[in-house]
Amino acid sequence: MRKITIVCVGKLKEKFWVDAVCEYTKRISRFADINIVEIDESKIADTSPTSINKALDNEAQKIQNIVQNKIVVPLCIEGKQQDSVQFADTVAKQTDMGELCFVIGSSYGLSDTIKKLGAQLSFGKMTLPHQLIRIVLCEQIYRALTILNNTAYHK
């Protein structure tokens, strides 16, 4: 069975976000072992670049401890965009090589250290809340797995 981990900086607070993620992880579990790991978002003193970079570096240390020996896919705006069929192909190839690990940063993004750990993925140039990206990612993973398993869902 395929193994997929999603590392998220920050926690889902609203019930509707939690419910959506639970629904998609339940669906994904038919096709893959799915694990979501939340790490605390670092506190920042102010929004200066120095404070933000310090927070991102702190989060990067925690992320690195989780992603060891996994195929890492950082989600960031600079990443490559794919359609759903291309994404399914990527999921297939990467999970055939080992445990696939997507990384979603905080509202300030990800450190360059994490971005360099693997092929970056983008869901577009628009800025979206990191809580929403978690749901979009889960839905796209589910869609990819239904494509790979020839199950009716993707159109």
- The pLDDT tens digits of the residues spanning 93-103 come to 999 999 999 99
What distances in angstroms separate CA 14 from CA 28, 47, 86, 132, one per listed residue? 22, 25, 31, 11
Cα separation, 56 vs 113, in Å, equals 9
| Fold annotation for 2-148 | Alpha/beta knot (3.40.1280)
| pLDDT per position as a tens digit, 120-137 | 999 998 888 889 999 999
| Amino acid letter, 144 | A
CA gap 155, 149 in Å, rounded:
14
Q: Report pLDDT for 155.
A: 63
Q: What percent of the chain is modeled with pLDDT above 70? A: 99
pTM of the full structure: 0.94
Instruction: Report how far residue 68's alpha carbon sits from residue 153's, in angstroms, rounded to the nearest whole number.
Output: 33
The pLDDT score that the predictor gives to residue 130 is 85
Residue 140: the pLDDT is 97
Q: Residues 103, 75: contact at Cβ < 8 Å?
A: yes
Give the pLDDT confidence score for residue 129 in this predicted structure.
Answer: 87
Residue 128 · residue 81 · CB < 8 Å? no
pLDDT score, position 154: 63
Query: What pLDDT is attached to residue 106?
Result: 92
Q: Which two tokens stand for residue 137?
A: 């990612």
Residue 38 has a pLDDT of 97
Residue 84: name the closest of 29, 6, 139 by CA: 139
CB-based contacts of 96, cutoff 8 Å, min separation 6: none
Q: Which amino acid is at 65?
A: N
Q: What average pLDDT does the segment 54-74 reach?
A: 96
What's the mean per-residue pLDDT of the chain?
A: 94
